[in-house]
Amino acid sequence: MKKLILLITIFTCIAYHSHAQFGGLGKALFEKGSELAGSTGLNKILKQPGAITTSFKDVNSTGKQPPSFHADEAAQPLYLLPKAQGGGYKLCAGFYEMTNKSYCLHAGTRGPSNGDGYMLAPVLGPKRDVVIAILKSAETHPNVTQHDIQMLLWAIIARTRFVDYGTEIKLTATTLLSPADLMKLEGGALGILPANLMDKAKAQLPTPVQAVFEAENNIRRLAASGTATYEEMERYAMLAGLTPTIDREYPSGVWSLHPDGYYIRYIPSGYAITKTQIYVPQELANSKPGLVYDATNAIACPANTGAQRLIQTNEPLNPDYKLKLKVKCFTN
């Protein structure tokens, strides 16, 4: 109850300030966008970083292995490993896999195709901590659906202001985030940009970026409407069809060398489901006790820049806890 009262107080103040400055939501948002149509305002919009900035340039491909790496070895269920106190799983020597929930973090791009290679990349950008906090909190809020979380993440990636969120998205945010994290959502956010400003902005952007820029504006509009469905938002977040080209240097199933020394690879089935596989060499486990895999600290990043970035979770899909590990990893 105290958290609810505090949240109401905080966002009543934000909403009042916003109304006093711009007028009511709707017409005033477009009027504000028109004010930004001058060269100074336009440059400010174009130079503002994305909420999550991770790209394939952030991938360290040193030590990568081909899809055939340990292909003849049977994997143990990753979710049967002990959970670490700060989140994730305690690792020991062996080959593990888990089919887990994953989320799209790149609006206006196409879903994964069968040939796309995904590699390990860090979570970077102004909203990094908020996105990770959402995924960690989701583990303890099973009543919040994957669709609800994805809509919230799309609203954040599109740089939607919290005061503009519709009721359902706002409820998801207040359920999963602390008041301090909620306040972070306002920084770097944009209002809904009118058509004339969109045209001016797109004319100054490279062609591949134009679709993303326009998709984010449409998602902001839907997030603010309060009536948008998951399917409506998905139509703007996901381009139809497969990516036009495949990077043969990074085929599907390519392995990344994790900074901690173990190997990891991602095999998505669409953007909402990813099979994650991990191989921990025995000598690494001997020399580095206490290794932990926390999925939320990394993004599965495609070599194909036209495909989705996928952030991973520690939440398995359809786990079978009746299974037992075939190796004895821990004594306590």
| pLDDT tens string 142-188 | 999 999 999 999 999 988 888 889 999 999 999 999 999 998 887 76
- What is the pTM (predicted TM-score) of this model? 0.83
* Euclidean distance between CA atoms 103 and 157, whole angstroms: 11
Task: For residue 67, give both structure tokens.
Answer: 């899809």
Whether the Cβ atoms of residue 157 and residue 271 lie closer than 8 Å to each other: no
φ, ψ for residue 239, nearest 5 deg: -75, 145
Local confidence band at 50 (pLDDT 50, 70, 90 cut-offs): confident
Closest Cα to residue 274, out of 311, 325, 305? Answer: 311
**Maximum mean pLDDT: which of 111-125, 163-177, 215-229:** 163-177
Task: Give the residue among 96, 84, 70, 92 at the shortest CA–CA distance from 287.
Answer: 92
